[in-house]
Structure 1
Amino acid sequence: MKFVLFYLPTVGTRKQIESGMLPGQNTQAYQSMLYQISEQVKAADQLGYYAAAFTEHHFHIEGLEVSNNPIMLSLYLGMQTKNIKLAQLANVLPFHNPIRLAEDIAMLDQMTNGRAIAGIARGYQKRWADVLGQVYGVGATFSDKTETDARNRTLFNEHYEIIRKAWASETFSHKGEIWNIPPENLKFDHSAVGDYGRGMDAAGYIKEIGIAPKLYQNRDIEVWQPFSHSADTWRFCAKEKIVPFMLNTDDTAMQKLISAYQDEAVKVGREIASGDGIGVFRDVLVANSDERAHELAADGNGFVWPHWFGELGFNEALRREGETGKIKGDFKDLCDRGFEFIGTPDTVNRKIEQLVKKHNPEYLLMWQYPGLVPHEDMMRHIEMFATQVMPNWTDSKETSASALSYTP
């Protein structure tokens, strides 16, 4: 299993957020967050974690998800580390210029010597998606088959196709519903292009374009996608060799998504075991006692989920098969429904054991809360998980050895 630290990241303490001080706009609070995630990811790098990942959301003056550019955060941490991979969960494709995004990820990959993981998503938060999506005539979606949802998916699919072309070929062209690359009758007629470049015909018209730089060593980059409940999305991921991550906690719902992925993978010639190529997302926190872990987590996801994510529709990920009615989504509910992997190393090992026995995911994405959980407790958690949990679920001798040699 591969273990990934996932940061929103949160800016400010619970007291600062609840006071209405808008810690997302407070320089001291933001600098404190940068310091904390730097120290935590540097420790994770030494301890053998697979990756650190950051989300994309905008306008979070409240301090709950101050991560408007996950590529920049990835580069910031990449410059301070040596081995850990840096991921975006995710770049929200319908609201990006796809060529610029392909270039930016390629730059990140070059600057980190091939440690970038590309993340893609469709966008669900209306406050920012409907503002930034105006130029493309698109907004947030909940995969509800509406006209807005269809427009969002069209842009997502076409932007993804363009990005893949940009990475795969020296030069490329594209004609789609939204984009025409290059536009018709683009005359550049520059001798240097003809002498040293590609894509211009003898009459000086640009027929193809290419991005520079390419991905590091022109590699096939790993692509991840969070956090869909849709079997259609999971089939798309299987076909495209994308790693999807699920929030779902109900075993039946989880297995349906995993089966959809595996069945589609077989159809396109990918012979994989159940659970290969997929990830599960959980709130994970290790402490010296179960009581201490619950106390800390109550101020982390136990505070953020019911005040933010539950009202954004994430409670549906907690729904049991056949269950009707409103989901509470409070901290006790999160624990009872299996989203909280918190406690002593022994407790968390047993939770992972059950997850592996039932679903055997290749990746475990672990929610982290700088600011809300004190930094010293976060550092202790990261070390304890790496030394007392992680070695039980990885075959990597390198990971085990690095965990044992960690020095703070």
Structure 2
Amino acid sequence: MKDILFHLPVVGSYDQLKRGFSGINDRNYQNMLWQISEQSKLADELGFWGVAFTEHHFHIEGFEESNNPILLDLYIGMQTQRLRVGQMANVLPFQNPIRLAEDIAMLDHMTRGRAFTGIARGYQKRWADVLGQGYHVGATGSDKSKQDNANRARFVEHWEIMKKLWTERTVSIQTENWQIPPADVHFGHEAVNQYGTGLDENGMVKEVGIAPKPHQNPYPPVFQPFSFSEESFRFCAREGIVPIVMNTDPTIINQLMDVYQEEAEASGHGALKRGERVGIFRDVLLSRDADEAHYWAERGNGFVFPAWFGPVGFSEVFRNKGETGSIGSDYATLRDRGFEFVGTPDDVNRHIEKMVNQHGPEYLVHFQHSGPKPHDVQMRSHELYMTEVAPNWF
């Protein structure tokens, strides 16, 4: 099993966050950068597979201050040797797919093939509807509404453009929203066709290509967090993308994994083992003292989840199949529903043993809160995990 540390990242301690405006405190931001640096360097030494950052904007509150995960990846990549660096995820409908394809290719080269990438659709209306103006699309509510359908269409469109740019020397692409290159662009430079290609006999631009191409062939591993729907799992299976499951009900997880295996084989990817090319997302924190671990986890995910994620609908991932009524997002619910892999090394081993026996995921994505959970607590947790838990599941 491959372990990925996923940082929001949070800016500010538990008390600083509760006072407000933690995200615009410069000292808090510098502290966050120092903490993720030290934790990533330790993760590199201990043998974690990778570290990832999210994409969100306008987080003056401090909960998910990660405007540009690729920049954070490069920052960490320059301080580590083996650790893979990636995004969970770039929000495709609100990105220029050409620029994004270039940036990821550059990151892959600068880290010498240690990059991975993630793609998502965007659910936070505050920033998605602001940044989406130029793309005439808004946040997804995963509700099959007109806006949701437009978001999905733009997501797929941008993904297809990125794939072509990564895998073809030069391209001419016509989609609903993009013409690459535009018509009637004259660039009569002899050097273009003398040393490359793309111009016709009249000097008109007919094809363009990005440079460099990714270091990894054909491109870095691709993930889609956090996938809930059968439609998303079928898309990921067809495209060879790793979906990250956030649900906690084993029946639902198994159904999604069945869909993934079925669609992957039907799409020509061969017969995958159970859990192959699939990840599961959990909050992970270890201590020698279980009560201490739960104390810090409750001030971390137990504070951030009900304050930020629950109100925008993420509590639905804790719903059991056939269950009706409202679902809470307080720490007791997170713990009871199996989202918290928290406690002593023995406790966490039992959680993982159950998960592996039921689902056998290739990846485990560890939720990280680099402010509410003190730095020394996180560092010790990583060490305990990689020395007393991970060796059992390689």
TM-score for the superposition, normalised by structure 1: 0.95
1:306-385 mapped onto 2 (5 Å cutoff): 306-385=306-385
Q: Counterparts of 1:60-75 in structure 2 under 5 Å? A: 60-75=59-74
Q: Percent identity?
A: 56
* Paired AA for residue 26 in structure 2: T
Tell me if structure 1 keeps the 8 A contact 2:223–2:244. yes
Q: Distance in 1 between matches of 2:286 and 2:257?
A: 27
Q: Please give the secondary structure, in 1, of the residue aligned with 2:42.
A: helix
Counterpart for residue 13 of structure 1: 13
Amino acid at match of 2:164: K
CA RMSD of aligned residues (A): 0.8
What runs of 5+ residues in structure 1 fail to find an aligned partner? 395-408
Q: What does residue 123 of structure 1 align with?
A: 122
How far apart in 1 are the matches of 2:107 and 2:312?
31
Report the more deviating stretch, 280-289 or 179-188: 179-188
Q: What is the TM-score of this pair, normalised by structure 2?
A: 0.99
Q: Map of 1:259-278 to 2, 5 A cutoff? A: 259-270=258-269, 271-278=271-278
Measure the CA separation in 1 of the matches of 2:229 and 2:201: 48
Q: After the TM superposition, which segments of 4 or more aligned residues of structure 1 sit over 6 Å from their partners?
A: none
Report whether the alignment pairs 1:80 with 2:79: yes
| Aligned-partner Cα distance in 2 for 1:110–1:383 | 29
Consecutive unaligned residues in structure 2, runs of 5 or more: none
Q: Counterparts of 2:374 and 2:168 in 1: how far apart (Å)?
A: 47
Structure 1 counterpart of 2:30, one-letter code: Q
| Partner Cα distance (1:371, 1:14) in 2 | 7
Further displaced range: 200-209 or 30-39: 200-209
Q: How far 1:274 sits from its partner (Å)? A: 1.4
Deviation of residue 194 (structure 1)? Answer: 1.7
Does the 8 Å CA contact 2:55/2:68 hold for their aligned counterparts? Answer: yes
Aligned 1:126-141 pairs, distance under 5 A:
126-141=125-140
Residue number in structure 2 paired with 1:233: 232
Distance 1:373 1:305 in 2: 13
Deviation at 1:189, TM superposition (A): 1.1
Rounded to whole Å, the distance in 2 between the matches of 1:297 and 1:68 is: 25
Q: How far does residue 202 in structure 1 lie from its aligned partner after superposition?
A: 1.4
CA distance in 2, matches of 1:206, 1:221: 29
Asked whether the equivalents of residues 108 and 216 of structure 2 are also in contact (C-alpha less than 8 Å), the reply is no
Matched position secondary structure for 1:30: helix
- Per-residue CA deviation, residues 33-67 of structure 1 (Å, 9 max, x unaligned), is 00000000000001100000000000000000000
Question: What displacement does 1:218 show?
Answer: 4.5
Question: 2:154 corresponds to which letter in structure 1?
Answer: L
How far is the alpha carbon of 1:217 from its aligned partner? 5.3
Residue-by-residue CA offset, 1:302-330 (whole Å, 9 max, x unaligned): 00001110011100000011111111111
Aligned residue pair count: 393
Q: Distance in 2 between matches of 1:212 and 1:122?
A: 26
Shift of 1:74: 0.3
Say if 2:256 is the partner of 1:257: yes
Cα distance change, pair 342–8 in 1 and its aligned pair in 2 (3 A): same
Q: Distance in 2 between matches of 1:220 and 1:134?
A: 29
Q: Which residue of structure 1 lines up, in the alignment, with residue 290 of structure 2?
A: 290
**Alpha-carbon distance in structure 2 between the residues aligned to 1:250 and 1:209:** 47
1:89 matched residue in structure 2: 88
Letter in 2 for 1:162: I
Q: 1:81-130 CA deviation, whole Å, 9 max, x = no partner?
A: 00010010000000000000000001100100011101100000000000
2:51 corresponds in structure 1 to: 52
**Is 1:206 aligned with 2:205?**
yes
